[in-house]
């Protein structure tokens, strides 16, 4: 893989893309052109296939970053008098709560500790307690800490209570297994620039057709109306409003590479190897992950920041970037952390290399105390 002189992005979107994916953006496409519209149609088909959606599900793509599609899904699918339960263990869950408030949808913000997964039992109890909840909005991998939530358990609880389920699978789709036949949901939201390894700029909602088809006029916003986007696209094969043509072309080629690699299971295997190599290497330097292994998704790892007084994230970030690797700040409220992504067109070699870049940075900054103090005491 030739990447030129770009640093390696260890951020979970935008992420490092392959040369082939970048080269797919060297053409200009007309939005009315049949060839371009065939590309859109093929992407829609392929992503529905990834979750085994068959003919019951359709994919509605939408311009914008992933959040735009989350907002569109909630605005289009949750009735105006509906009520959304958000099991909240991190920043992306909190974002859904904010979306509901903006859209004037009643929302139950159910606090779950950020080092604990949302489970079927937690959702089951909340649904039993409040029969007026119509939908659960569940983040699959909470990218804030890298937490793997129990999507199967949550789906079972929703089915048992007959409530809708909207899944934010932004950072897990195409890497972690999701089969709608085993894990039913109303809709799942993902985007071009995450585990499919495209470039950022469009999201998409994989939604049960029968539900979408009776949501005409429910959305609060024209641009965010997935029903309208769907009806127009089915009728004309075109996007409503200017499509992100280069992003779509890149996503097509990114999906080709996903299929050539062997699909979701092979992508998961590569990301899992990346994650294990990273955690092992960082452990040798003294770093400890924030999450327990059982709840750590192989997508992004949160590490405790070194307690050494010589540490500050900005310098650590800049010096590691100068060695070719872009880290990500922490997103936790209580503890000082930083994050390293495992996704993108990278393999275990890159993870070994980022560990040596971090090692050199620690030395250059004069950081000696790397392990959290409690862990250091335990080890002593």
Stretch that binds ligand PLP, among 61-69, 112-120, 154-162, 235-243 (CB under 6 A): 61-69
| Binding range to ligand PLP, per CB under 6 A, among 148-156, 165-173, 275-283, 333-341 | 165-173
Taking Cα atoms as reference points, which of 336, 313, 316, 325 lies closest to residue 278?
Answer: 325
Q: Which of 36, 57, 92, 258 binds ligand PLP (CB under 6 A)?
A: 92
**Range in contact with ligand PLP (rule: CB under 6 A) among 63-71, 240-248, 305-313, 346-354:** 63-71
Calpha distance 53→215 (Å, rounded):
20
Residue closer to ligand PLP by CB (options 143, 361) is 143
Closer residue to ligand PLP, CB minimum distance, 95 or 227:
95
For residues 141 and 362, which CB has a smaller minimum distance to ligand PLP in the complex? Answer: 141
E-assigned strand segments in the chain:
8-9, 57-63, 83-88, 106-111, 135-139, 141-142, 147-148, 164-168, 187-191, 202-208, 300-304, 325-326, 328-329, 337-341
Of 92, 54, 119, nearest in space to 191 by CA: 92
CA gap 247, 318 in Å, rounded: 29
Residue 1 neighbours by CB distance under 10 Å = 11
Query: Could you tell me which stretch among 78-86, 101-109, 163-171, 210-218 binds ligand PLP (CB under 6 A)?
Result: 163-171
Secondary structure (3-state) at 282? helix
* End-to-end alpha carbon distance in the chain: 43
Does residue 61 bind ligand PLP (CB under 6 A)?
A: no
Q: Which is nearer to ligand PLP, 92 or 290 (CB)?
A: 92
Per CB under 6 A, 13 contacts ligand PLP: yes
Q: Does residue 65 bind ligand PLP (CB under 6 A)?
A: yes
Which of these segments, 130-138, 166-174, 233-241, 370-378, binds ligand PLP (CB under 6 A)? 166-174
Q: 40-77 as b/e, with b when 16 or more CB fall inside 10 Å?
A: beebbebbbebbebeeebbbbbbbbbbbbbbbbbbbbb
Q: In whole angstroms, how far apart are CA 134 and each of 33, 80, 125, 128, 358?
A: 41, 11, 14, 12, 47
User: Could you tell me if 351 and 325 are in contact, meaning their C-beta atoms sit under 8 angstroms apart?
Assistant: no
Among 77, 139, 343, 358, binds ligand PLP (CB under 6 A): 139
- Residue number of the CB closest to ligand PLP reads 66
Give me the least distance between CB of 194 and ligand PLP, in Å please: 6
The site map against ligand PLP for 185-204 (x = CB under 6 A) is: ------x-------------
Angle of helix 263-285 versus helix 348-365 axis, rounded to 10: 20
Q: Which one of 3-11, 62-70, 225-233, 350-358 is the stretch in contact with ligand PLP (CB under 6 A)?
A: 62-70
Contact status: 66 vs ligand PLP (CB under 6 A): yes
Q: Are 168 and 139 in contact (CB under 8 A)?
A: yes
Count residues binding ligand PLP (CB under 6 A). 13
Give the binding site for ligand PLP (CB under 6 A).
12-13, 65-67, 70, 92, 139, 143, 168, 170-171, 191
């Amino acid at each position: 893989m030739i990447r030129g002189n770009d640093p390696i992005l260890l951020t979970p979107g935008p992420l490092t893309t392959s040369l082939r994916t970048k080269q797919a953006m060297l053409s200009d496409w007309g939005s009315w052109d049949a060839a371009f519209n065939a590309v859109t149609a093929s992407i829609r088909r392929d992503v529905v296939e990834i979750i085994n959606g068959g003919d019951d599900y359709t994919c509605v793509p939408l311009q914008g970053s992933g959040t735009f599609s989350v907002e569109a899904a909630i605005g289009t699918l949750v009735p105006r008098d509906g009520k959304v339960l958000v099991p909240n263990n991190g920043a992306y869950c909190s974002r859904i709560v904010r979306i509901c408030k903006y859209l004037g949808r009643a929302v139950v913000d159910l606090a779950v500790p950020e080092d604990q997964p949302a489970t079927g039992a937690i959702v089951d109890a909340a649904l039993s307690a409040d029969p007026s909840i119509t939908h659960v909005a569940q983040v699959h991998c909470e990218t804030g800490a890298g937490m793997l939530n129990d999507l199967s358990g949550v789906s079972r609880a929703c089915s048992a209570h007959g409530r809708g389920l909207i899944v934010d699978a932004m950072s897990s789709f195409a890497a972690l297994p999701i089969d709608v036949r085993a894990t039913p949901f109303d809709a799942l939201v993902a985007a071009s620039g995450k585990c499919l390894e495209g470039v950022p700029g469009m999201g998409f909602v994989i939604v049960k057709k029968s539900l979408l088809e009776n949501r005409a006029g429910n959305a609060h916003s024209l641009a965010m109306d997935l029903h309208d986007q769907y009806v127009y696209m089915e009728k004309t094969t075109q996007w409503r409003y200017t499509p992100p043509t280069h992003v779509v072309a890149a996503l097509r080629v990114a999906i080709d590479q996903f299929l050539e690699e062997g699909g979701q299971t092979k992508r998961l295997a590569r990301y899992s190897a990346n994650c294990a190599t990273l955690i092992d290497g960082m452990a040798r330097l003294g770093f400890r992950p924030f999450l327990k292994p059982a709840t750590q998704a192989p997508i992004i790892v949160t590490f405790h920041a070194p307690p050494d007084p010589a540490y500050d994230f900005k310098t650590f970030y800049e010096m590691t970037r100068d060695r070719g690797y872009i880290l990500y700040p922490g997103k936790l409220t209580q503890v000082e952390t930083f994050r390293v992504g495992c996704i993108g067109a990278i393999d275990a070699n890159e993870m070994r290399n980022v560990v040596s870049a971090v090692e050199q940075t620690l030395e250059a900054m004069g950081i000696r105390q790397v392990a959290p103090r409690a862990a250091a005491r335990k080890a002593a």
